[in-house]
Structure 1
């Protein structure tokens, strides 16, 4: 019996190469030949005939260009490249069509006697046979190679699809676990004493920050293992606004459109969480309005995270930074790969963390 609420994960079925023209992989559709690209607008036989016609015309033009410089040289030399191209990109039907047309063209217009199927030399007959046989052999080998490549692509796509489904299942289960932890914390907050509520609320906020990083981790396909920071921190700031800031207090965010590895994103998210909570608690003791601003700026060399407020500032730094979360804040900054510094500003307080991207 499967757990309630879990998603059904099915093994992807690998279909026959000619029965399926495409499969999703990482948000894209993979099409490996021109017949696929023309379907379903053009039926498969028509598409193969179209590819064969284009390749045959190109072969005739190439033959004419060569004949202007070296008349009659290598009558069948330019046949094989176009046969190969037609087979690889238009399947075996297109290759056979190009082979037949170009062989007849070279026989009739290039070989002596021109504009005739008669042979001028006794060796012309065997030469035509050998060249035509070689052309059909190229068609067979190219079609075999095309099918092998197509099968390999479909197997890779099937594995990618299975991985995507498993990640969705994992995402669903982990989100349920985070929701359960948050629900338990809310229950405990309703039963706890006034002295214990701030600590439980802080824990709830930290769990919520990690949960939002996890949610952002799977938000964009093709970016497995990385968290897009703009939606993550913007959503986190909105949650902090509703939980800690009342009245005219505002929390704004200006976040660069970058993605970071999961662990770095979680550390930055927790750091922003702690700094915003600290500012909400201490920056506006006697004011009904105030502003906290979170920013993440990115260059090729560095990431700069800053949290600033327009509150009372820190007249007595040890008293303000001696809070219970001070050690956690600096530990998170070090783990993220930088050192947290207080930047002098005219009004309020600003903390800044610079992380090297090298």
Structure 2
């Protein structure tokens, strides 16, 4: 899966959708996940996706797809060294116009310094969100965003 494919998948969803300004995020992010299935299977990585069904602006959706793509690529490349149980979890919940996104893997690669992935940081600046990264137990990336004005 490439970043171009994530955008292409978004365009397919927009084409099928009557309203070009909003997109149902769970269908889109699940399609992004499905484009990774071969790579996940080849690397014996299991995934758990819990994504609420909600319409969000299509430009937000594009950035979420790019985030999911980049985070997944980083996990595949860097997280898992000689371990049998490899898991990636993605959760996107919406409650009272507050969107909460969490991506995690259970990789055992030790990271001794704070990390700030460049592309992920740029995407988050586009979304105007503050995010946290925790590397104490695997890798966890999370943020919250108010979508009431979306």
Which TM-score band applies after superposition, normalised by the shorter structure? Answer: 0.7 to 0.9
Is 2:27 the counterpart of 1:209? Answer: no
Larger radius of gyration: 1
Query: Gaps spanning 5+ residues in structure 2: where?
Result: none
Q: Secondary structure at the match of 2:108?
A: coil
Partner residue, 2:61: 265
**Cα contact 1:217–1:228 (8 A) shared by 2:** no
Quick check: 1:333–1:353 contact (8 Å CA) kept in 2? Answer: no
- Unpaired runs of at least 5, structure 1: 1-203
* Moved beyond 3 Å, runs of 4+: none
Which residue matches 2:119? 328
CA contact (8 A) 2:111 2:135 kept: no
Distance 2:73 2:107 in 1: 13
TM-score, with length taken from structure 2: 0.87
In the TM superposition, 1:133-148 aligns within 5 A as none
User: Compared with structure 1, are the counterparts of its residues 239 and 348 closer, same or farther at alpha carbon in structure 2 (3 Å cutoff)?
Assistant: same
For residue 301 of structure 1, report the CA deviation from its aligned partner: 3.1
| RCO higher in structure (CA 8 A, sep ≥6) | 2
Q: Is the 8 A contact 1:237 1:252 kept in 2?
A: no
2:16 & 2:113 partners in 1: Cα distance? 40
**Residue in 2 aligned with 1:278?**
74
What are the within-5 Å matches in structure 2 for residues 299-318 of structure 1? 299-312=95-108, 314-318=110-114
How far does residue 313 in structure 1 lie from its aligned partner after superposition?
A: 5.1
Which secondary structure state, in structure 2, belongs to the residue aligned with residue 273 of structure 1?
helix
Contact 1:290 1:309 in 2 (8 A): yes
CA RMSD of aligned residues (A): 2.0
Structure with the higher strand share, 1 or 2: 2
What displacement does 1:336 show? 1.4
Deviation at 1:215, TM superposition (A): 1.2
Number of corresponding residues: 148
Partner of residue 229 from structure 1, selected from 11, 21, 25: 25
Contact kept, 8 Å, 1:330 with 1:339, in 2: the verdict is: no
